[in-house]
Structure 1
């Protein structure tokens, strides 16, 4: 879901955290570029990879599947008093029973305050993450961890403006590198890890006009600064730096698993915003071009998120299309670039579509199957804030939406034949 929708939802449940932050604090202050004790990486790791021809592979074999977003499956354990919360086990078991093969999830806190466990009690953080990864191994569920879900958080943690994501010599990149090393080296041998994702929908933040418009949220009690400026805005140049740096850092420790941007579907005017600071809609060919621009090498998959509302925004200037046309164009770009498509979020909200929800859901699911999208993940599983506010959550507690998992199960079974 678009980040501005998520801020208010996540804010409600995360107000109870405290502490101060510095990338040098905590029990482990090893410099991020000190790999003295890191064993050499293996020739190949388990999980998803990409062939030379651009085909998605799972453990070396061609693969297609639909999973789910289990956004807060792990980070719920970072809430105060929730260190022993293993409710995710119930969710993983539920997904296993329905042959849902993998989840996409946040691997650390949304707001700066929620990084306290990792920064100031690293052993406790990894004890909890170890248990989570072990549970995924036990249930045979693949994991796609998203490292930096809320883009401003890392710069906020180190006291820098958000545009320092575009500076490889910044403290922002220093903390990024350290966290990547700690996580990737620790879990790269796990068969549960299927890939590595940078963050969530960063591309929606870039190239927005106005110095003082479209700034990140200010919530000081959750660790943000008390003011924002034009330096907290991002541009395509910054996105390219941050995505390339993320991928290169991952590749230092894991040379084979897929590396993902986590991007949403680009704005209808993405190229014109980049080149002209204009909201003029892009053409279909420009849309395809921007998929490549926003998922730069060495990122090895194309990532986008598609909802019914995506088509309602209006794509393209030279030919109006619905969700099927957006997915078809994205698959065309994937073929041209030899990067398999990951439809990292898709779904239909009852709060918006009411009795038409099932029809909207099936339209997306059928487009995924008909266009042979290699990898996709429904939004969202077991995330209670979206039960009523969005009407899009699927969990053991809301049976009326169980059909969504059952329909996904049928498609997964057909794709395995």
Structure 2
């Protein structure tokens, strides 16, 4: 027993050194690595302001020609940073169909441990994306997993390891789930940690207490569950990679003790974006030593459907501008950069009315700007028509469109971002 306790103590100390000892990124990174200086991003000694974009589907393309065509279109639009998924996972029962449809996948789950696919239908496709980004001078934000079920996110870990009846939030607390997640993170980080094409590692897309599964009692306002998970995982990534930046990938939810809400049908509704129910605490999370910059998203069309109605004094435009200002102020207090990492509205008229105001507001506060999502044209695989998964498909050579995609032939919307890119370039001298 004594020997066991000594070994347990040594193991605890080693784990503590790896996951609890904060280590800031090296102040002298290799050439081509983005770093921070106060509230600014810096690249090779110069300020790095940018317009970026999101494209989860680029690693899902099956031909190098279409991947290159997409990056060429991004470069022509002035895109400097691309955020994409560093995960694509399936259940073993989906494997035959995935091979038949040529679906990109990196993990296969058949038991409490996943099997890596680093072959030509797996991580070799991500290799090509990372390499192509460098060819076109575009940096990559790579996300390790998803809060949502799409393309095999965190709930595959929950389902296979946590077991039946597990709530979504056990992903953040279950030791075996955390170990499995870290095993995958280590695989990805070690694969690309010497690459200057990586802008940052992102711990999770839109972490919340609940996902497609319900949340549990351990992740409630004030519990700090996400805060501690962010800290643990950011420190783990830093132990693997001393140079690349790290961020949360969160939507920017606040946890304000003073009630924030709105009246609806004569009832006061506590606002999910401010009351801590999501699990995030943007102000506190941003203070973590190895979280190098903040991220937040804007989707008021979905968050406030009961208010977004004709005759209401609520407007998507005004709400988004306020949300941008709040995050700019929070980041300024901490002295770190912030990125408007995702935003979108549906409807071309909405886009042409709202996007200029949101982008101008973000520009005025020194943000990085990354709309959801980039639309590519002229893709040729399978004749330009291919169902990928879910409702995602290439149609007549156009990349998947969830209602938020913007394409070059939508000139007014396209120009909002290309003009902003020119402004950001001018500030990066």
Aligned residues: 338
**In 1, distance between residues paired with 2:87 and 2:36?**
26
**In 2, distance between residues paired with 1:229 and 1:310?**
19
1:325 matched to 2:322? The reply is: yes
After superposition, residues 128-167 of structure 1 pair within 5 angstroms as 128-150=125-147, 151-160=154-163, 161=166, 162-167=168-173
Pair 1:186–1:280, CA change in 2 (3 A): same
Partner of residue 59, structure 1: 44
Query: Which deviations, in whole Å up to 9, do the C-alpha atoms of 1:263-296 show, x marking residues without a partner?
Result: 11316879869xxxx953499999xx93222445
Match of 2:246 among 255, 259, 280: 259
Q: For the Cα contact (< 8 Å) 1:166–1:238, is it kept in 2?
A: yes
Pair 1:409–1:391, CA change in 2 (3 A): same
Partner of residue 345, structure 2: 348
Query: Which deviations, in whole Å up to 9, do the C-alpha atoms of 1:44-90 show, x marking residues without a partner?
Result: 24432223x3432223432211100112211x15xxxx4x4652221
Partner of residue 196, structure 1: 201
After superposition, residues 161-200 of structure 1 pair within 5 angstroms as 161=166, 162-167=168-173, 170-200=175-205
Match of 1:246 among 227, 233, 248: 233
Pair 1:361–1:412, CA change in 2 (3 A): same
Match of 1:377 among 370, 375, 400: 370
**In 2, distance between residues paired with 1:110 and 1:263?**
21
**In 1, distance between residues paired with 2:400 and 2:86?**
25
1:237 matched to 2:224? The reply is: yes
Q: Please, which moves more after superposition, 403-412 or 298-307?
A: 403-412
Query: Which deviations, in whole Å up to 9, do the C-alpha atoms of 1:171-191 show, x marking residues without a partner?
Result: 211122111211112211112
SS in 2 for 1:65: coil
Match of 1:290 among 281, 290, 296: 281
SS in 2 for 1:343: strand
Match of 1:361 among 347, 355, 360: 355
Partner of residue 48, structure 1: 34
1:94 matched to 2:82? The reply is: no
**In 1, distance between residues paired with 2:363 and 2:107?**
42
**In 1, distance between residues paired with 2:364 and 2:75?**
25
**In 1, distance between residues paired with 2:300 and 2:355?**
8
Pair 1:71–1:271, CA change in 2 (3 A): farther
Q: For the Cα contact (< 8 Å) 2:57–2:84, is it kept in 1?
A: yes
Query: Which deviations, in whole Å up to 9, do the C-alpha atoms of 1:91-127 show, x marking residues without a partner?
Result: 1011112221110011112665654368243344332
Pair 1:242–1:303, CA change in 2 (3 A): same
Pair 1:270–1:410, CA change in 2 (3 A): farther
**In 2, distance between residues paired with 1:183 and 1:123?**
14
Pair 1:230–1:340, CA change in 2 (3 A): closer
More strand by share: 2
**In 2, distance between residues paired with 1:341 and 1:234?**
25
Pair 1:122–1:282, CA change in 2 (3 A): closer
Q: Please, which moves more after superposition, 190-199 or 392-401?
A: 392-401
Q: TM-score, normalised by structure 2?
A: 0.67
Unaligned runs of 5+ residues in structure 1 are 1-31, 36-40, 207-214, 218-227, 315-319
Partner of residue 416, structure 1: 428
SS in 2 for 1:57: strand
Partner of residue 291, structure 2: 299
**In 2, distance between residues paired with 1:299 and 1:394?**
30
SS in 1 for 2:52: strand
1:233 deviates by 7.8
Partner of residue 38, structure 1: none
SS in 2 for 1:105: strand
**In 2, distance between residues paired with 1:339 and 1:403?**
29
**In 1, distance between residues paired with 2:421 and 2:82?**
14
Q: For the Cα contact (< 8 Å) 2:247–2:295, is it kept in 1?
A: yes
1:163 deviates by 2.7
**In 2, distance between residues paired with 1:283 and 1:395?**
30
Q: For the Cα contact (< 8 Å) 1:268–1:281, is it kept in 2?
A: no
Q: For the Cα contact (< 8 Å) 2:172–2:225, is it kept in 1?
A: yes
**In 2, distance between residues paired with 1:393 and 1:406?**
15
Partner of residue 28, structure 1: none
After superposition, residues 122-133 of structure 1 pair within 5 angstroms as 122-124=118-120, 125-133=122-130
Pair 1:60–1:412, CA change in 2 (3 A): same
**In 1, distance between residues paired with 2:195 and 2:158?**
30
1:196 deviates by 0.7
Query: Which deviations, in whole Å up to 9, do the C-alpha atoms of 1:29-49 show, x marking residues without a partner?
Result: xxx99x9xxxxx986244322
